[in-house]
Each structure stands twice: as structure tokens, then as C-alpha cells.
Structure 1
């Protein structure tokens, strides 16, 4: 009985904690970090890593943060981890744009296996183009080939890669910064079971992002 509470607890009136399942109230457990238009880039990156295993490079986090904050402001509410991931996909992995990679075939030279002959098939505004170029690696060969198609002066010096999951179903994520000749860096992200194929998809994603600006 409530009237017996002081004697039972040996002191003044107390209200005991009652542990309940949030589902009983029509709610679900929510993480301590909530994402809204004021959220910092670190919290946004933390959510992607914890829920999806996506490790956003620090150099890319500020730009991702701006997109997520803009989306939250647009919808006028806190957003879920799934929505954060969708923003990441829409803006960095599969942005709309004129370029669609159909295929890339890097082939080692017969006498020097470190020298790569690359063949690229890409659609530009729906029109299929095929170009070939050489390089001292699969990425440099791809860049040399794609530059014959796009009117963008850029370079790729280095990029970050990570594996998602393990075993036969493992996917590689490549975060590639495209350094523009004038100034600035634009990131693209690609996914594939082969890291080189993931990297070239990231380059195409970055080119589409540049074309939108």
C-alpha cells in the first residue's frame, strides 16, 4: 500500500523506479545520440559507424554533416539512423548526374604487370562511350581514360578504403577525394567486392557531384 511506503523504505516518501518495456507504451528504444539540424559531424559519423559499419574519413565528415543537417532542417524534425544512411547514399555513393559507369576492365601489360591498360565504358547523358588509356596502376589508368570524356581537371593522389563484413560476401568501400585543378576537394564513395572497382565507382560518383554544382 502507498501509505506503508515510509515504513517500508525507512524514510520519507519515495517513488520506486518501475522498469517497463518501451514497446508497452508504443515506443521503441532510441540511442542517446539524436540527429537534428544542430548535430555535430562527430555524432553523425558515430551513428553511421555503429549502425552500418561505415567509417567516414575525418576530412569528409564536415561536408556529410552539412548534408545531414540540411535534411533534418528540411523535414523539420530529428531523423533516424536509416535516414542518415540514406543521405550518405544519395549524396556520396549514388548522386544523380550525367555519368554512369557501365564497366571498367584493367589489364596488366604482357611484359610489365605493374603497367595497366584500362578500358572504360561509360554513359554520358545516356550515350555510351568507350575509351582506353594506360597507367602505372588500375586507378591511374582509369583516371587517364575518364579524362578523355569529362571536361573536369582533377587528380586522385590517395584514397581511404575499408572492408564491410568478412568472407565471400565482403564489400569494399572506397572514399576518394577528387582534387580539383583550381581549388577544393570533392569526395565520392564507391562500393564493390573489388577495391579497385569500388574506387573507380567512387570517382564517377565524385564527378557526378561536381557536375551538379
Structure 2
């Protein structure tokens, strides 16, 4: 078809990874463009996402789409092979429900737990644990949130499967463990070790070093 597919992203971003993974699941070749989101956003990024000025952005035949969830759904609707969302309307609604729960409840709670000062950490850790407990029950003993195949909620929860475990190691905290959440922990292993996911993930050691340096600098600043 000769389609032009480009992804503007950041190598360590779980939101960029969602888009790369969706394209990989579909077998769609694309050009990846790395953005310096902290110091020097490119004119193209600002042109294609003038509202939020953030990554990721998908460019499909010159048409830009921003926001990771909207991009993943666009990819699923544009390329029908290997569907990410179920065909059944109720199951589609449930997939979107859990994806929204992950982004709107779990992500802020986990961010808060990671960033809270010592005197507030216990409470924020409890709040994040409650979110993980809810997710654990949502798996219903399945391999993935999407059943036997990776679906929208699995893509949404990529930061729990990969990024959270690196943050835990860097900071010396424990939210997700095999003892606390056996089904969610097993899911995280299944997802990260799935070849199509693994080949799109950023280098673990590089991320770990960055998080360790960031947490050390934050501790010194207190």
C-alpha cells in the first residue's frame, strides 16, 4: 500500500511504547522519530501536536493523531489484522473501562506513591496497593486482561508490568510482588517476556540507572 507511518516518541516513555507495541502487534512497519521532550521539542512535534505539545504522535499518510489511547484505537480500526479490542460491544466497553481505570486511577496513585515524602508514603502506598488489588481481580485468572491475547488493557498497563518493577528496584519500595499480587505479578512476567512486547521495550539497565540517579538527586534536594 505504500503507507507512511511515523511515530514521534521518547525511548523511555511507557506512552510511546503503547503505540510501538500496537503497531508491532499488527505487523505494521513504521519510522520511529526520537524526541527530546525535556529540552528541545522538534518543530514537527509542535506542528503535529500543537494542543498538548507531547509525545506520542502517530503520523499516518500525513495525518497526525495524538494521545496514546486514541492512537492505539486508531491503529486497531485502521488495520484489522490481530484485533486489539474485542468485537463484542460489551467486551469492548469493558476493555475501555479497565484501560481508563489504569490511566486515571492506577497511574496517578503509583506516581504519588513513588514521589511522596517519607511521612506520607505509607498512605500513598496503600492507595496504590488498592488499585493493584482491583486490577488483580479484573484478570479473572486469565493470562492477559484480553484473555489469551494482548488487548487494550494490557497495553495500557505496560508501565505496571515493566516500568513499576524497575522503579521499585531503584527506590527500594515494594508495591507489586508475587506474594502480594500473585496473578498480577504472573501477568507482568507473561507480558514482558512475550516476544512482540519484549522487542519493543527500552533497555532495562539504562532505565534503572536513570531512575536511581533521579531518586538520589531528589533525596539530596530534600
Q: Could you say which TM-score interval applies, normalised by the shorter chain?
A: under 0.3
Higher relative contact order by CA 8 Å / sep ≥ 6: 1 or 2? 2
More strand by share: 1
Structure 2-normalised TM-score? 0.26
TM-score, normalised via structure 1 length: 0.27
Larger Rg: 1
